[in-house]
Amino acid sequence: MSYSITEPSSRQKTVAGFLVITYSLVTLIPLLWVFITGFKTPPDSISYPPKVFFTPSLEGYVNLFTTRTRVTPEQLEALPPPANFAEEIVRNRKMVIAGPSKFGERFMNSVIIGFGSTFLSIFLGTLAAYGFSRFKVPLKDDLLFFILSTRMMPPIAVAIPIFLMYRKLGLSDTHLGMILLYTAVNISLAVWLLKGFIDEIPREYEEAALIDGYTRFQAFYKVVLPQAATGIASTAIFCLIFAWNEYAFAVLLTSGNAQTAPPFIPTIIGVGGLDWPAVAAGATLFLLPVLIFTIFLRKHLLRGITFGAVRK
Amino acid sequence: MADIELNAISKRFADVTAVDSMSLQVSDGRFVVLLGPTGAGKTTTLRLISGLETPEEGSVHIGGRDVTSESPAQRNVAMVFQQYSLYPHLTVRQNLEFPLKSPVLKTPSGEIKNKVQEVAEVLQISHKLSNKATELSGGEMQRVSIGRALVRSPSVFLMDEPLSSLDAKLRADLRIELKRLQSELGATMLYVTHDQVEAMTLATEVGVLDEGQLVQFGTPREVYEDPNSIYVATRLGLPRINTLPSDLFGAAPTGASTIGLRPEHIKFGEGKECTVTRVEHLGDQTRLHVELEGHRLITLADVNSAVGVGDALKVAPKNPLYFDADGQRIRH
């Protein structure tokens, strides 16, 4: 039988496929469970044995976005018929909608702070990485080491100094404060990752652009940036994931105005008993932006290294 | 088009002097080839002219203007790189448009279209205009990169070993094409290479570089026939010039320590006895390796020569070149 050393046999492919699918299932089941729980009713969510088959309900999502008050059966009778499906679900539990919850606001805070700090990290990181990659910077190696050293301890180790500093500077519980904090944590990662990518782009391209009549900055913008797109995209995803999921500083430094979703979601539990569907609904919605962002940038991630028109 | 003038320029990198007080005059419309081995300072010289490097000493003039402190963009020079350096994220058309769209030239779009079309036709790449730059063969890439230099009608063309990464046939084709383009455009070209065939065939003048210094400058014939030193003599000519102790064939001019013999300086049938150690039939020429009193010589024989290994021959010098102990030429 003919065979190729580089091409795996069909049996090897089957085994590999089986392993990959098994691994994916194991890692995806918790996420799937969260997703499903979001569509259960509170009694279904805590029933034992756990229900795999159930009648889906939007109660979790309604509870996530609203605050509700309990009313007497007489009061419930006196009300006009429910205006929409949300009210109907709530009234079945002998309650009425009192107003919107803070989830939407907290979610927007997460979006502003997460994407804001990602943008700032990438913006500053790309410029710094380009500088380190291309120019003679005095003490370059030391500076790069200092930048990396900010990552050598868990960020939360400096929580107290930062807490005191932020209180003095009036940055506590502000969007700007959180954006700056997450940028400070992410920027070392961004500089190091991006420097690696920019180092890979031959200088000849910029030199060609300089001779073609462009300034150094235009050459950077028109020739280096498009080629660093892959690196920028993957770095952005790393930065966003950190800023999006960060919990400890968010708990410590935000309480109202700039509170992000991670510290908010657990507080749902305390509002009306153990409302797991609402928590699961919140977690599901919270996963979406990173998922969408990653899918959106996937093209750049998968494209890999461009085989440049420079011969080495 | 314009002339280039280098006045005693020097450039050092850390402890290495890449270009050492070099002066050079390239007249308008000339095709000057700088020849030298790796590390002789050829590429640094080009980069100093283009503005990618600035000299520590000396000045660069293009078209009579002192451009020493100007940026590459201000100098209006075009450069073709050894590694093509086509922008990989752009198509062939966008690569050719790139210099025309620069803030320095700001060409109107109608004109851009015409110029790109014109250049693409000259270089026979019209059918590849919408390809990505990365989807071309080596020869096509180098055509595009020459095209990128042509579109902008610069004051001078600088070429850094543009043909060295191509295969032999393409190199020969593009060599002829370059020469034709240059004479049609009347362009001033400064061309860097380590390939003596390119230097001999393309150049109106050859400059031979050694350790950052220009050691000889003249027409290819002058440099070949009348080299200043052993170094220059070995840079041109295939097979290479043979160097032997000057007294091997008897009387030599005073001060001479080496005699240089190119194949045309060797006369058969008289003089010293020697033995053929190897015969190489290259088709258009036949090379003889001979041993003469412990020294090895390579020379040419008639293509149809019946000489074989072990045969005895007599050789004598004919108008040879003599060099002193420092390798400098002794003229008499």
The span from the CA of A159 to the CA of A147, in Å, is 19
pLDDT, tens digit, for every residue of B255-303? 889 999 998 899 888 888 899 999 998 888 889 999 988 899 999 888 8
Interface test with B, best of A205, A211, A227, A306 (most B CBs within 10 A): A211
> Residue-wise over B105-127: b if at least 16 C-beta within 10 A, else e?
bebeeeebeebbeebbebbebee
Do B4-234 and B241-330 fold alike per CATH?
Answer: no
The pTM of the full predicted model, rounded to 2 decimals, is 0.80
Look at B102 and A213 and tell me if their CB atoms are within 8 Å. yes
Give the C-alpha distances (Å, rounded to integers) separating B110 from B47, B78, B106: 32, 22, 12
Contacts of A208 in chain B (CB under 8 A): 79, 81, 85, 87, 148
B87 touches chain A (CB under 8 A): yes
CATH 3.40.50.300 for the B4-234 domain, yes or no: yes
| Total number of domains constituting chain A | 2
Residue A219 in any domain: the answer is yes
**A19 token code pair:** 């392993």
A280/A254 same-domain check: no
Distance of CA A224 to the CA centre of its chain: 27
Residue A191 in any domain: the answer is yes
Look at B52 and A210 and tell me if their CB atoms are within 8 Å. yes
Q: If you ran DSSP here, which 8-state letter would residue A153 be given?
A: S
Q: Smallest CA–CA separation between A146 and chain B, in Å?
A: 27
Could you tell me if A201 and A228 are in contact, meaning their C-beta atoms sit under 8 angstroms apart?
A: yes
Look at B87 and A223 and tell me if their CB atoms are within 8 Å. yes
Could you tell me if A114 and A121 are in contact, meaning their C-beta atoms sit under 8 angstroms apart?
A: no
B162 touches chain A (CB under 8 A): no
* pLDDT given for residue A308 in this prediction: 39
- A227 → chain B, closest CA residue: B89
- The CATH number for A255's domain is 1.10.3720.10
A160/A245 same-domain check: yes
B104 touches chain A (CB under 8 A): yes
Could you tell me if B299 and B293 are in contact, meaning their C-beta atoms sit under 8 angstroms apart?
A: no
Residue A301 in any domain: the answer is no
Could you tell me if B80 and B157 are in contact, meaning their C-beta atoms sit under 8 angstroms apart?
A: yes
* pLDDT given for residue A272 in this prediction: 56
Q: Smallest CA–CA separation between B15 and chain A, in Å?
A: 17
Q: Looking at this protein, which amino acid is placed at residue A40?
A: K
> Residue-wise over B54-84: b if at least 16 C-beta within 10 A, else e?
ebeebebbbbeeebbeebbbebbbbbbbbbb
Residues of chain B with pLDDT under 50: none
Look at A204 and B81 and tell me if their CB atoms are within 8 Å. yes
Residue A309 in any domain: the answer is no
Look at B99 and A212 and tell me if their CB atoms are within 8 Å. yes
Question: Residue A66, SS3?
Answer: strand
A86/A177 same-domain check: no
* pLDDT given for residue B174 in this prediction: 86
A178/A81 same-domain check: no
Q: Who's near B8: CB < 8 A, 6+ residues apart?
A: B21, B22, B23, B57, B58
Could you tell me if B290 and B276 are in contact, meaning their C-beta atoms sit under 8 angstroms apart?
A: yes
* pLDDT given for residue B107 in this prediction: 87
**Which of B52, B103, B138 has the CB atom closest to A207's CB atom?**
B52
The span from the CA of B45 to the CA of B200, in Å, is 20
A85/A183 same-domain check: no
Could you tell me if A308 and A235 are in contact, meaning their C-beta atoms sit under 8 angstroms apart?
A: no
CA angle B33, B38, B44 (to 5 degrees): 65
Query: Which of B97, B73, B77, B102 has its CA nearest to residue B86?
Result: B97
A91/A232 same-domain check: no
* pLDDT given for residue A15 in this prediction: 94
Q: Smallest CA–CA separation between B315 and chain A, in Å?
A: 47
Q: Can you give A171-186 as a three-state secondary structure string?
A: CCCCHHHHHHHHHHHH
A87/A110 same-domain check: no
**Which of A227, A310, A311 has the CB atom closest to B89's CB atom?**
A227
Sheet with B65-66, side-by-side order of all strands: B16-26, B4-13, B57-62, B65-66
Torsion angles phi and psi, residue A6, rounded to 5:
-85, -25
The span from the CA of A7 to the CA of A132, in Å, is 41
Look at B88 and A312 and tell me if their CB atoms are within 8 Å. no
Look at B79 and A208 and tell me if their CB atoms are within 8 Å. yes
Look at B83 and A311 and tell me if their CB atoms are within 8 Å. yes
Look at B85 and A205 and tell me if their CB atoms are within 8 Å. yes
Q: Which domain holds residue A260?
A: 104-264
Q: If you ran DSSP here, which 8-state letter would residue A51 be given?
A: P
Give burial (CB, 10 Å; 0-12/13-18/19+) of B14: exposed
Contacts of B85 in chain A (CB under 8 A): 202, 204-205, 207-208, 309-310
The span from the CA of A7 to the CA of A136, in Å, is 46
Q: Who's near A130: CB < 8 A, 6+ residues apart?
A: A194, A198, A220, A224
pLDDT 10s per residue in chain A (312 long)? 566 777 778 888 899 999 999 999 999 999 999 999 999 988 888 888 888 888 899 989 998 898 888 888 888 888 888 888 888 888 888 888 888 889 999 999 999 999 999 999 999 999 999 999 999 889 999 999 999 998 888 888 889 999 999 999 999 999 999 999 999 999 999 999 999 999 989 888 999 999 999 999 999 999 999 989 888 998 999 899 999 999 999 999 998 889 999 999 888 876 556 788 999 999 999 999 999 988 888 777 765 444 434 443
Tokens 């280039």 correspond to B4
Look at B134 and A306 and tell me if their CB atoms are within 8 Å. yes
Length of chain A: 312
A94/A108 same-domain check: no
Sheet with B31-35, side-by-side order of all strands: B77-80, B156-160, B189-193, B31-35, B205-210, B213-218
Tokens 């109107």 correspond to B108
B83 touches chain A (CB under 8 A): yes
Residue A303 in any domain: the answer is no
- B144 → chain A, closest CA residue: A309
Could you tell me if A116 and A179 are in contact, meaning their C-beta atoms sit under 8 angstroms apart?
A: yes
Domain residue limits, chain B:
4-234, 241-330
pLDDT, tens digit, for every residue of A106-119? 999 999 999 999 99
- A226 → chain B, closest CA residue: B89
Name beta bridge partners: B191. Answer: B33, B159
Q: Can you give chain B as a three-state secondary structure string?
A: CCCEEEEEEEEEECCEEEEEEEEEEECCCCEEEEECCCCCCHHHHHHHHHCCCCCCEEEEEECCEECCCCCHHHHCEEEECCCEEECCCCEHHHHHHCCCCCCCCCCCHHHHHHHHHHHHHHCCCHHHCCCEHHHCCHHHHHHHHHHHHHCCCCCEEEEECCCCCCCHHHHHHHHHHHHHHHHHHCCCEEEEECCHHHHHHHCCEEEEEECCEEEEEECHHHHHHCCCEHHHHHHCCCCCCEEEEHHHHCCCCCCCCEEEECHHHEEEEEEEEEEEEEEEECCCCEEEEEEECCEEEEEEECCCCCCCCCCEEEEEECCCEEECCCCEEECC
Look at A204 and B89 and tell me if their CB atoms are within 8 Å. no
Tokens 């009778």 correspond to A77
pLDDT, tens digit, for every residue of A126-159? 999 999 999 988 999 999 999 999 888 888 888 9
Instruction: Check if the interface score ipTM surpasses 0.90.
Output: no
Q: If you ran DSSP here, which 8-state letter would residue A84 be given?
A: S
Q: Smallest CA–CA separation between B203 and chain A, in Å?
A: 24
CA angle A243, A244, A246 (to 5 degrees): 65
User: B241-330: which CATH topology?
Assistant: OB fold (Dihydrolipoamide Acetyltransferase, E2P) (2.40.50)
Contacts of A230 in chain B (CB under 8 A): none
Cβ contacts below 8 Å, chain A against chain B, sum to 85
Could you tell me if B243 and B298 are in contact, meaning their C-beta atoms sit under 8 angstroms apart?
A: no
The span from the CA of B45 to the CA of A205, in Å, is 19
**A53 token code pair:** 């088959």
Q: Who's near A155: CB < 8 A, 6+ residues apart?
A: A185, A248, A249
Residue A298 in any domain: the answer is no
